[in-house]
Each structure stands twice: as structure tokens, then as C-alpha cells.
């Protein structure tokens, strides 16, 4: 989030303009400056004087979290968001790695942290974001003292800072999904990335930005920080309700937004979104787009106007490839161009840069690329010369191909659809199958998962959502045909579903999906077998 001196600059120019809107709470720039100042002063008194000082948060988007993040930015304390849906052992590992001295937590997520241990845990300050003052244990800071607990409201009653302190650190930390690693970015990298986002999307002080994705998602936090940096208004939503979001777009005159894929899907499917395109104000909607398909692109154009930007983004690379609204009408899914300031290269197995048209490993260089990992290992980086001098690149786990115009199309991945045994030829076929399905206009959504189970054997599970009620038969036929063409070696169990679960990063929650559909498929197979046995020969 932006620092106090930047907030004060906007407050001096436009003190009564709204900086943050969260339901009935509306903070002007002057209000935000005062709240961040007092919160930073109260937090500084509770931090240790020596050693690495880090914070974490478990919370939905709210004005309280915005104030807390601004206070941390002011003090130079990296505050890392944690996904509350992750497994307990992974949460334990991240807490031990980050070793926070302060925890900002929403009441609903406190049980996720209770009983967990990390080195600084006993002396950690717990700041409850949504609890009114009264009854908090507010013990004095002391080495080895039991943890202190205080509400953000109590913290914000502190006397304002007399002067801004020297920052403790000059870095930010992002959790890498699917593993137990943390990406590190320096202050210089953050600054260059912020400028790149402003140039890419033309953000300015007249924008009104809707946050409909959790702030622990790096893309969501980076966009909120960027919009506040230029003096725009940020509107926060924690409901994830389609009708509420449609109402906010209308009532707040929203011009830009970030959605996680599941929320965007619900919004586009709800009749409440139908009038939004006629408003003509919404110009830029950004969402992680690796698994979004043709129906989403077409529905967004109809419901929101020419606004949807699908972003290829990871904590390692930041937003590096974008498929814009006009390009989305004529390009295949999983295709896009490099964002401004970003360079995309495709490498062969020896790490050499491949010419256009040759598939290989995708590498990304630019201002959004992380500096390294918190554990110090940086074997994913290489130095390349792509024609403009040597530059540092992050080598991703994705496969792709660049065309002559510099457009990247993803052709495979080393993670996501995890087969029981590595088979690169089959992996590529599965990725092409999934890409084919994303480009079918007769499907609202689809997923491809390879399984090896006693009940199904080595097979594909292919759940899908039809484009409309009553269109399941045509969707089923199209899917079976595509599976037989792309992956004839494996039986495909195609099943219509009402919901495909996504993480806010845009990754399909495979375990949750299989838990829901495999019993249905198994029962259907048992019924078919029973019917065949009953038929007289």
C-alpha cells in the first residue's frame, strides 16, 4: 500500500475527495492520512527494536486493512497476505518462514491462527481489524513477553507521528501459490512496476477502482496501491455477491476493477450485470485469465462493454502478459502480448532464446519480476540478450510460443493438471485439449483433470458448465468429441456441473472439484454396469 507521505500529498491537494469507500464508511484523503498516521504510531510502539520485522494479514478487503497496510508501508514493514483457504501445514510453514512480529486478522479468521507457533509468536502483536475497542489485552512491549492483543481502533487512538521513521526494510513479500516459497521484491522494483501499470492502463486521479478480489492476491494489492498512488478512489467489496457488485459499479460510477475469476463468472451470469455496458464508464476490468474461456470474453463484452483484460500473472513475474478486450475477440484463449516494460522470451532446453514460432519454456524480464526468494535460492533466474542488451529473466514453469508480432500463446505447463506419472507428450495433449475447450463458445466453463483411481482407473475427469440451461447435451457431445480427438488413449468421464471451484489466483481447486464429481461418476458407472448385467443375453 502507499506510504503516509504520499497520502499526505493527496490530502493537501484534495482533502475532501474520497480515497477509500467500504460500504457506509467513506474515508477522505484527510481521514486516511490521519488514520494511517495514528495506526503507524501505535504499531511502531509494539514492534521490536532489532531483527527482521515482518507482518502478515488474514482478512478480506476493508478500510481497516487498507489503513493497516498503509501504516506498514510507512514504517517499512513488509505485510504479507495469507490465503485463509490454504491447508494448515502450509500455513504453519509460511508462518515459520515469514516469522511475523505483528498479525492483522479479521475475527472470522482468528481460529486459523490459534495454536500455531513460529519463533516470534510468543511476543507477537495481534491486531484485530474488525473489533470495537474494549477488553483487549494491551501488555507493554518486552522481550519474550506474551503476545499482545489490540484492536485497530485502539491502535488508531495513538498520538500521530512527530516525524516519519526510517523504513525498517525496503522490500515486499508475496506468497507463491502451490508451494511454500515467498517471492521478494525491492523498493526500486516496486516503483518501476507501479509506473509500468500506470502507463499500461492509463490510470489517473479521476478513476474509481473496485476491488473484488482479496488483497492477499498480489495482482489485487498492486492495482489498489497503483490507483491510490495516482489519487484515485478505491471501492472495497468483501461480499463477492454478484448483485452487490453490480450495484456498486452503478452507484459508485466505477471505471476500473479487479475481479477474481469466480466472482467475475457469477457477475456475468447474473441478470443484474445486464445494464452495466450501457453506463459506458467501466473501461478496464482485470482478472487472472489462465483458465477463462470464450464464453467469459463474449459475455463480458456484452455485459460490461469493451473492458475485460485477461492477465497472465504469477508472484514471480507480476502482470506480464495481457489479452485486451479487442484482442480477445479475435485471439485464442491463453494468448496475449507483453505488458509495457516487460520482455517475453521463449527458451530451448539448453536455455538459448528461440526464434518466433518455436515452442519452449517461457521466461519473463521486466519491472514486475521478483528479485528472488526469501530462502535465498534463485536458480530460476538467467541473464539473456534478446536484442536490447543483457537483462535478467525469471524462467517460469510454463511452455509457450511467440509469433512474429510478439504475441505469446501458452502451450503447456509443468504444474496444475498433475498426472499420476510424468508423460510430457500426454501433458501437452491435455493442455491442448483444455485450451480447445476454453475456446468453445458452447461452454460456459470446463476443466480437464487426469486421475488414477481404483473406481475409474487411469482416466480423464472433464466437468463442464453449459452455456445455458438445456444446452448440456450439446456441451456433452462437443466435449466427448474433443477428448477423443486430442487424448484418445484415455477414457473421458464428461459430467455437467453447476460450479467449478477456483482460487482467486485463477487456479482450479482440483481436490475440491474431484471430491464433488468423482462419487457421481462412480455411481453412474455402477448403475450402467448393473443395467448391462440385468439385460438377458
- Domains belonging to the chain, first-starting first, are 29-169 (3.40.50.980), 188-413 (3.40.50.12780), 424-534 (3.30.300.30)
Mean pLDDT of 360-387: 84
Confidence of residue 535 (pLDDT cuts 50, 70, 90): low
User: What does the pLDDT look like over 376-429, one tens digit per residue?
Assistant: 766 788 888 887 778 889 998 888 999 999 999 988 875 443 444 456 678 788
CA 483 to CA 462: how far, in whole Å? 9
pLDDT of residue 12: 96
Q: How far is CA 194 from the centre of its chain?
A: 17
Q: Does residue 289 register a pLDDT over 90?
A: no
Mean pLDDT score of the chain: 86
CA pseudo-torsion sign 474, 480, 481, 486? positive
Residue scoring higher pLDDT (437 or 60): 60
Q: Is residue 189 helix, strand or coil? A: helix
Under DSSP, the state recorded for 372 is E
Class of residue 406 by CB neighbours under 10 A (exposed 0-12, middle 13-18, buried 19+)? exposed
Mean pLDDT of 289-300: 88
Confidence of residue 336 (pLDDT cuts 50, 70, 90): very high
pLDDT of residue 147: 66
pLDDT of residue 458: 87
pLDDT of residue 344: 93
Nearest by Cα to 344 from 401, 416, 415, 428: 401
CA terminus-to-terminus distance, the chain = 72
For the ranges 114-118, 229-233, 419-423, 498-502, the maximum mean pLDDT occurs at 229-233
Mean pLDDT of 129-151: 57
Q: Could you give the C-alpha distances from 334 to 172, 207, 211, 294, 342, in angstroms and in order? A: 29, 28, 24, 10, 17
Confidence of residue 135 (pLDDT cuts 50, 70, 90): very low
Q: Does residue 262 register a pLDDT over 60?
A: yes
The region of weakest confidence among 86-95, 177-186, 367-376 is: 177-186
The region of weakest confidence among 10-24, 242-256, 469-483 is: 469-483
Which residue bears the cell 508423460?
A: 423
pLDDT of residue 534: 63
CA 451 to CA 518: how far, in whole Å? 10
Q: Does residue 137 register a pLDDT over 60?
A: no
Confidence of residue 180 (pLDDT cuts 50, 70, 90): confident
pLDDT of residue 145: 44
Mean pLDDT of 106-117: 90
The region of weakest confidence among 24-28, 135-139, 176-180, 300-304 is: 135-139
Q: How far is CA 533 from the centre of its chain?
A: 50
35: cell is 488514520
pLDDT of residue 421: 43
pLDDT of residue 423: 60
pLDDT of residue 206: 94
Amino acid at each position: 500500500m502507499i506510504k503516509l507521505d504520499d497520502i499526505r500529498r493527496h490530502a493537501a491537494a484534495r482533502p475532501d475527495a474520497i480515497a477509500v469507500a467500504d460500504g457506509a464508511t467513506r474515508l477522505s484523503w484527510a481521514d486516511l492520512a490521519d488514520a494511517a498516521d495514528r495506526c503507524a504510531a501505535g504499531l511502531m510502539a509494539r514492534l521490536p527494536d532489532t531483527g527482521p520485522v515482518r507482518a502478515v494479514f488474514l482478512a478480506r478487503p476493508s478500510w481497516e486493512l487498507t489503513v493497516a497496510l498503509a501504516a506498514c508501508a510507512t514504517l517499512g514493514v513488509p505485510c504479507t497476505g495469507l490465503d485463509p483457504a490454504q491447508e494448515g501445514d502450509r500455513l504453519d510453514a509460511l508462518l515459520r518462514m515469514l516469522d511475523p512480529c505483528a498479525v492483522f486478522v479479521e475475527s472470522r479468521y482468528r481460529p486459523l491462527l490459534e495454536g500455531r507457533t513460529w519463533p516470534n509468536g510468543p511476543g507477537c502483536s495481534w491486531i484485530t481489524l474488525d473489533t470495537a475497542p474494549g477488553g483487549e489485552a494491551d501488555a507493554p512491549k518486552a522481550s519474550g513477553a506474551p503476545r499482545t492483543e489490540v484492536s485497530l481502533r485502539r491502535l488508531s487512538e495513538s498520538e500521530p507521528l512527530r516525524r516519519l521513521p526510517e523504513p525498517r526494510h525496503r522490500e515486499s513479500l508475496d506468497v507463491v501459490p502451490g508451494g511454500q516459497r515467498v517471492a521478494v521484491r525491492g523498493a526500486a522494483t516496486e516503483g518501476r512496476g507501479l509506473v509500468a501499470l500506470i502507463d499500461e492502463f492509463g490510470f489517473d486521479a479521476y478513476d474509481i477502482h473496485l476491488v473484488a478480489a482479496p488483497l492477499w492476491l498480489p495482482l489485487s494489492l498492486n492495482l489498489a496501491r497503483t490507483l491510490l498512488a495516482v489519487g484515485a478512489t478505491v471501492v472495497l467489496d468483501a461480499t463477492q455477491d454478484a448483485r452487490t457488485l453490480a450495484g456498486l459499479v452503478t452507484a459508485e460510477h466505477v471505471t476500473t476493477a479487479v475481479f477474481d475469476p469466480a466472482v467475475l463468472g457469477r457477475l456475468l451470469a447474473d441478470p443484474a450485470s445486464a445494464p452495466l455496458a450501457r453506463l459506458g464508464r467501466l473501461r478496464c476490468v482485470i482478472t487472472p485469465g489462465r483458465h477463462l474461456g470464450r464464453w467469459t470474453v463474449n459475455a463480458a463484452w456484452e455485459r460490461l462493454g469493451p473492458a475485460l483484460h485477461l492477465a497472465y500473472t504469477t508472484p514471480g513475474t507480476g502482470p506480464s502478459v495481457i489479452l485486451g478486450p479487442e484482442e480477445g475477440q479475435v485471439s485464442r484463449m491463453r494468448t496475449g502480448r507483453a505488458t509495457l516494460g516487460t520482455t517475453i522470451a521463449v527458451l530451448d532446453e539448453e536455455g538459448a532464446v528461440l526464434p518466433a514460432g518455436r515452442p519452449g519454456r517461457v521466461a519473463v524480464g521486466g519491472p514486475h519480476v521478483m528479485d528472488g526468494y526469501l530462502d535465498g535460492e534463485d536458480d530460476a533466474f538467467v541473464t539473456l540478450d534478446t536484442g536490447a542488451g543483457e537483462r535478467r529473466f525469471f524462467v517460469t514453469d510454463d511452455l509457450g510460443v511467440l509469433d512474429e508480432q510478439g504475441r505469446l500463446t501458452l502451450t503447456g505447463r509443468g504444474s496444475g493438471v498433475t498426472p499420476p506419472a510424468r508423460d510430457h507428450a500426454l501433458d501437452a495433449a491435455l493442455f491442448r485439449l483444455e485450451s480447445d475447450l476454453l475456446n468453445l463458445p458452447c461452454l460456459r466453463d470446463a476443466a480437464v483433470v487426469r486421475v488414477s483411481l481404483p473406481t475409474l482407473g487411469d482416466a480423464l475427469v472433464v466437468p463442464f458448465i453449459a452455456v445455458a440451461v438445456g444446452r448440456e447435451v450439446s456441451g456433452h457431445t462437443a466435449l466427448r468429441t474433443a477428448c477423443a480427438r486430442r487424448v484418445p488413449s484415455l477414457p473421458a468421464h464428461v459430467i455437467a456441473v453447476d460450479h467449478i471451484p477456483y482460487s482467486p489466483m485463477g487456479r482450479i481447486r482440483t481436490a475440491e472439484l474431484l471430491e464433488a464429481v468423482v462419487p457421481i461418476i462412480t455411481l453412474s458407472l455402477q448403475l450402467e454396469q448393473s443395467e448391462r448385467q440385468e439385460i438377458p443375453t
